[in-house]
Amino acid sequence: MKKFTSISSIAMPLDRANIDTDAIIPKQFLKSIKRSGFGPNLFDEWRYLDHGEPGMDNSNRPINPDFVLNNSIYSKAQILLTRRNFGCGSSREHAPWALEDYGFRAIIAPSFADIFYNNCFKNGILPIELSSEIVDNLFSYSGQITINLKEQTVKTDDNSFEFEVDPERKRRLINGLDDIGLTLQNENQIRLFEAEYFVKYPWL
Amino acid sequence: MPQTLYDKLMSAHKVLEQDGSTLIYIDRQLIHEVTSPQAFEGLILAGRKIWRNKANLAVPDHNVPTTERSSGVSSITDPISRLQVETLDKNCESFDINEIQMNDIRQGIVHVIGPEQGATLPGMSIVCGDSHTTTHGALGALAFGIGTSEVEHVLATGCLWQNKAKNMKIEINGNLGVDVTAKDIALYVIGQIGTAGGTGFAIEFCGSTIRDMTIEGRMTLCNMSIEAGAKVGLVAVDDKTINYVEGRPFAPKGENWQSALKYWQTLHSDRESHFDESILIDATLISPQVTWGTSPEMVVDINGSTPDPKLEKDAIKADSIRTALEYIHLKPNTAMSSVTIDKVFIGSCTNSRIEDLRIAASVVKGKKIANNIKLALVVPGSGLVKKQAEEEGLDQIFKDAGFEWREPGCSMCLAMNADKLEAGERCASTSNRNFEGRQGQGSFTHLVSPAIAAASAIAGHFSGVIL
C-alpha cells in the first residue's frame, strides 16, 4: 500500500452533501476485473456530457465545463473538500480506486459513510473528518493546504486544525503496511481460537 | 454485565484485541463476481492460500442476464460482463470454493440465496463485498458489507479487523395498516433519521411490529439499514427465525441442530442492556412510502407531495432539495399521485422474495398495467423463488397483467446487466437506492414497496393500493 505522511496542495471544492459511490464511479465501470485505470471515469456522469462506457477513449469525450473537476485550477489538486456523508451507498472499492488513480490522496468532509471510510485506508487515501464550521471555513479558502498525518493537522496560511484518526490505521498508513501480512503474524492465535470455537459451535 | 445482541455477537467472534481494534473470526463469506476478481488476483500475486475454503460461498448475480440464458455464461452478450462471470467461475474452481453457477436452479441474488440455502445462520459472522449484506442480520447474524481489500483479507486470514460500533435500538410497536409493509417501515425510518442517521451504529430492530413480522419482512428492513448508514441491522432470534432455518440445505441436522438451538435462543439483547441511542416508532402512524428525490431519505407518504426548498431553513438541505428536484424533473409541492411513470421494477435483494411476489401478484390479479407503462418487470430473487412462484401460479398472474417474468439476478436495481432505464424515464422500483443515474444515466428512480409498485403499474402513476 502507498504510504501517507504529509501532502501540500490546494483543495478541489465539491460543494454537495451525501455524494454516493455510484456518483464517484458509475456501475458500468465496475465490470473491470482490474484494480487500476478508474481515474478517467471518476465522477463520470458529472464530468462528461455524454454517456461513458468502459473502453471509450475518454480524451475525446465532451467535458462538462460547469463541473469543478474540469476547472484547470484544480487539475493538480490532491485534496478533495466536500460535505457530509461522503461515500454513502455501495461498498464498491472502485470508488477509492478511482479517487486515488485520479490523484486525490486526502478527502476532507464533516462525515463519511462507514464502508467508504474504511476502504480509503486500504488504498493510501486519508479521509479527514472536520467540523461543519471548519469545512465551511475551508470552502471559502483557496490557498495551499498542508496535511500532516503524523501531527494530525490540517494547516492553511492562517489556521491549523487538528483531526482524529484511529492510531492503528494511522500507523499502517504512515508505514504503508500490508494488512494481510500483519494479521497473519497472529496465525497461531487464530488457530487456537478456531480449535476452541469449533468445539463450542460444532455445526459451523 | 447485560449485553446487547450486537455485543454478544462481537464477543463470540473475538480472536484478539489490539489498540482498540478487534480481530473477529468470520464464519461465512458470500462472494459475487463484481467485488471479488481483484481480491483473488491479490492472493495470486502474493502467493497466498485461502484460510478456510468451507467458509466461502459464491454466486454470480450482478451481471447475469434475466432474459433467456439456457446456453449459460455464453448467453451474456456484453463481453466485459461475461468475462467477470467467467473470472468468478475460474477463481472458484482454482481456489476450490463452493459456487452456485449461473444456470443452477439455486442461483440468485447473493442476499436471497444465503438465507434460502441456510448458508446464513443465526449467530454467524457474515461478510460480503456488497453493502446490502446487512440483510442477513434479520436472522440474528452479525452481517455487514466490506470492500474488495477486506474480501481478500477474509479469504487469506479467515478474519477481519473491526472497530466496535455503538448500539442503537429502534423499537416499533403496533399493527401495520393492511397496505403497509416492511419496506415502508424502512423508508419511513430513513426519512426520520436520515441516510447518515445510523453511521457508526449497529441498529437492532425490536418491538411488537418486528415480532409480528415475517423473516422476509425482517430481511427487507435489515437490508435497508445500510441506507441509514448503519454498520449492521439486527433482529433477535425467535421461533420464527428457528422455523425459517430448519431443514435448509446448509442448516445443522440431528445433534448439531439441538446444540445450535440452545445457543441461538440466547441471541437477543439482555434486559437492561445499554443502548447509546433509542428510537421509538408507532407503526400505526406509518403510511405507504414513496421517495421523491435522489437519496432514500427524500421520502414522503404516497399521498404526500414533493417538498418546497424555500421552506427549508438549513441552507445545505435546501440546496440538496433543489438539486434533487431539478435532477428528477419534479416541481416543489407536486402531489406524488399525479406523477406518471414509464417503467416498473419488482425485484432486488430488498424485495424479491416469495412474500414480495405474493403481495404484488395479489394487487395486480385480474387487472392490466396502464397504457403508458413501457415495461413492467418482475425479477425473482432466486431460481427457487421463481420455481415456488410458478408453482403458486404467480407468474401467470403477472404475465396476464402485462408484466414480464424474468430469470433471477440483481437486474435493474443497479443496471449492470441489460435491464436499465433510458435517460428521462421514470421508474417505480422496489429496490433500495434512488441515487442519480442508479438505474441508468439520466433516469429517475422512486423507491416503493412491491404493493405500491404493483398498484402504480396498474394506475400508470404513483398510487396507493385500492382496497
User: In which band, very low, low, confident or very high, does the pLDDT at B221 lie, cut at 50, 70 and 90?
Assistant: very high
Question: What is the CA B43 to chain-centroid distance, rounded?
Answer: 29
When CB atoms are compared, the residue of B147, B320, B441 closest to A91 is B147
ipTM of the predicted assembly exceeds 0.90:
yes
- Determine the pLDDT at residue A178: 86
Closest CA of chain A from B112, distance in Å: 17
For residue B459, give how far its alpha carbon lies from the nearest alpha carbon of chain A (Å): 31
- CB < 8 Å to A85, chain B: 195-196, 199, 229
Phi and psi, residue B56, nearest 5°:
-105, 145
* Cα A91 to Cα B223: distance, rounded to the nearest angstrom: 14
Chain CA centroid to CA B309, Å: 30
Q: In this complex, do A203 and B131 lie within 8 Å of one another by their Cβ atoms?
A: no
Residue A126 lies in a domain: yes
Q: What is the spatial distance between Cα A89 and Cα B435, in angstroms, rounded to a whole number?
A: 9
Q: Give per-residue pLDDT as tens, B277-303.
A: 999 999 999 999 999 999 999 999 999
Q: Is A170 helix (H, G, I), strand (E, B) or coil?
A: helix
Q: For residue B158, what is the nearest residue in chain A, using CA coordinates?
A: A190
pLDDT digits (tens, 9 = 90+) for A56-113: 999 999 999 999 999 999 999 999 999 999 999 999 999 999 999 999 999 999 999 9
Nearest to B196 among A30, A111, A204 (CB): A111
Helix (H, G, I), strand (E, B) or coil at B31: strand
Residues of A in contact with B299 (CB under 8 A): none
Instruction: State yes or no: pLDDT of B228 exceeds 70.
Output: yes
At residue B106, the pLDDT reads 98
C-alpha cell read off for A93: 472499492
Q: Give A65 to chain B, closest Cα distance, Å.
A: 18
CA distance A95 to A20: 9
Q: What is the mean pLDDT of chain B?
A: 97
Nearest C-alpha of chain A: how many angstroms from B40? 10
Residue B466 has pLDDT above 80, yes or no: no
Catalogue all structural domains in chain B, each as residue range(s) with its CATH number: 1-286 (3.30.499.10), 289-459 (3.30.499.10)
Does residue A185 lie within any of the structural domains?
A: no
d(CA B49, CA B95): 8
CATH number at residue A73: 3.20.19.10
Which of A16, A45, A167 lies nearest to residue B19, judging by beta carbons?
A167
Instruction: Please state, in angstroms and rounded to a whole number, the distance separating the CA atoms of residues A117 and A107.
Output: 10
Residue B467's pLDDT band (cuts 50, 70, 90):
low
Which of A183, A188, A194 to mutate to test binding with chain B, by most B CBs within 10 Å of its CB? A183
**Which residue on chain A is closest to B154 by alpha carbon?**
A180
CB contact under 8 A, A91 and B34: no
Residues in chain B: 467
Q: Do A115 and B436 touch (CB under 8 A)?
A: no
Residue A192: inside a domain, yes or no? Answer: no
pLDDT in tens, B330-347: 999 999 999 999 999 999
Residue (of A122, A81, A19, A123) closest to B196 by Cα position: A19
Beta carbons within 10 angstroms of residue A137's beta carbon = 15
Half-sphere exposure of B273 (CA within 13 A, CB side): 17
Q: How many domains are contained in chain A? A: 1
A102: containing domain: 6-176
A89/B323 Cβ within 8 A: no
**Tens of pLDDT along B106-135?**
999 999 999 999 999 999 999 999 999 999
Q: Does A189 touch chain B (CB under 8 A)?
A: yes
How close does chain A come to B383, measured CA to CA in Å? 23
Mean pLDDT score, B32-42? 98
For residue B438, give how far its alpha carbon lies from the nearest alpha carbon of chain A (Å).
7
Rounded Cα distance, B54 and A198, in Å:
13
B257-269 CB burial, b ≥16 within 10 A, e <16:
beebbeebebbbb
- Which H/E stretch holds residue B221? helix B215-223
In a domain, A187, yes or no: no
Tell whether the model's pLDDT for residue A1 goes beyond 90. Answer: no
Q: At what angle do helices B110-117 and B383-391 cross, to 10 degrees?
A: 70
- The gap from C-alpha B220 to its chain's centroid, in whole angstroms, comes to 6
Distance, in Å, from the CA atom of B319 to the CA atom of A15, rounded to the nearest integer, reads 10
In chain B, the residue whose alpha carbon lies closest to the alpha carbon of A170 is: B19
**Domain assignment present for A34:** yes
Taking a contact as any Cβ pair under 8 Å apart, which residues of chain A between 71 and 130 contact chain B?
83-85, 88-93, 96, 111, 113-115, 118-119, 122-123
Chain A nearest-CA distance from B116, in A, is 17
Query: Which pLDDT value is given to residue B328?
Result: 98
The answer to whether A36 contacts chain B (CB < 8 Å) is no
Dist CA A204 CA A194 (whole Å): 11
B255 contacts: CB under 8 Å, gap ≥ 6: none
Please list, in sequence order, all residues whose beta carbon lies within 8 angstroms of the beta carbon of residue B315, skipping any fewer than 6 positions away.
none
CA distance B365 to B92: 42
CA-based nearest residue in chain B for residue A19: B435
CA-nearest residue to B24 within chain A is: A190
> What letter would DSSP give residue B182?
H
**Cβ contact (<8 Å) for A166 and B20?**
yes
Could you tell me if residue A43 is inside a domain? yes
Rg (CA), chain A: 19
Nearest to A114 among B200, B295, B320 (CB): B200
Interface-testing mutation among A93, A116, A123, A187, with chain B (most B C-beta atoms within 10 A) = A93
Interface check A55 vs B, CB under 8 A? yes
Share of chain B above pLDDT 90, in %: 98
In this structure, of A169-178, A187-196, B216-225, B423-432, the range with the lowest mean pLDDT score is A169-178
- DSSP notation for B243-263: HHHTT-TTS--HHHHHHHHHH
Name the residue among B15, B199, B435 with its Cβ closest to that of A89: B435
Q: Could you tell me the maximum CA-CA distance found in chain B, to the nearest angstrom?
A: 64
Long-range interactions of A100-104: CB distance < 8 A, separation 24+: A100/A2, A100/A39, A100/A124, A100/A125, A101/A36, A101/A37, A101/A38, A101/A39, A101/A42, A102/A38, A102/A39, A102/A40, A102/A42, A103/A39, A103/A76, A103/A77, A103/A78, A104/A12, A104/A77, A104/A78, A104/A79, A104/A80
Contact B435 A55 (CB under 8 A): no
Mean of the per-residue pLDDT values of chain A: 97
Report d(CA A103, CA A11) in Å as an integer: 12
Q: What's the pLDDT score for residue B397?
A: 98
Give domain status of residue A86, yes or no.
yes
Which residues of chain B neighbour A180 with C-beta distances below 8 Å?
46, 48, 152-153, 156-157
Provide, as residue numbers in chain A, all residues whose Cβ is less than 8 Å from the Cβ of B24: none
- Which residue's C-alpha cell is 436499465? B420
Spatial distance between the Cα atoms of A40 and A57, rounded to a whole number of angstroms = 9
Mean pLDDT over B19-31 rounds to 95
Chain B interface includes A191 (CB < 8 A) = no
Q: Which helix (H) or strand (E) holds B126?
A: strand B125-128
**B69 burial class (0-12, 13-18, 19+ CB within 10 angstroms)?**
middle
* Test the B interface: residue of A14, A32, A33 with most B CBs within 10 Å: A33
Position B373: which residue type? I
Instruction: Name every residue whose Cβ is closer than 8 Å to that of residue A172 and which is 6 or more positions away in sequence.
Output: A1, A121, A179, A182
Q: Distance between CA B35 and CA A92 in Å, rounded? A: 7
Query: A134 and chain B: CB distance < 8 Å anywhere?
Result: no
On the CB side of B67, CA atoms within 13 Å amount to: 7
Stated as kind and residue range, the H or E segment containing A108 is strand A106-109
Q: Of all residues in chain B, what percent carry a pLDDT higher than 70? A: 100
Which residues of chain B have a CB within 8 Å of the CB of A22?
414, 433, 435-438
If you count residue pairs, one on A and one on B, with CB atoms under 8 Å apart, how many are there? 177
Over residues B92-113, mean pLDDT: 98
In a domain? residue A166: yes
- A64 touching B (Cβ < 8 Å): no
Structure confidence by residue, pLDDT tens digits, B409-462:
999 999 999 999 999 999 999 999 999 999 999 999 999 999 999 999 999 999
Q: How confident is the model at residue A2 (pLDDT cuts 50, 70, 90)?
A: confident
Rounded distance, CA B3 to CA B278, Å?
15
Asked whether the beta carbons of residue A17 and residue B229 sit closer than 8 angstroms, the reply is no
Query: What does R_g of chain B's alpha carbons equal in angstroms?
Result: 21
For residue B128, give the H/E element and its range: strand B125-128
> Could you give the percent of chain A with pLDDT greater than 70?
100
The amino acid sitting at B156 is A
Would you call A172 an interface residue with chain B, using a CB distance cutoff of 8 Å? Answer: no
Q: pLDDT digits over B358-396, tens only?
A: 999 999 999 999 999 999 999 999 999 999 999 999 999
Instruction: Give the span between the Cα atoms of B415 and B62, in whole angstroms.
Output: 8
Q: B454, exposed or middle or buried, with CB in 10 Å at 0-12, 13-18, 19+?
A: buried
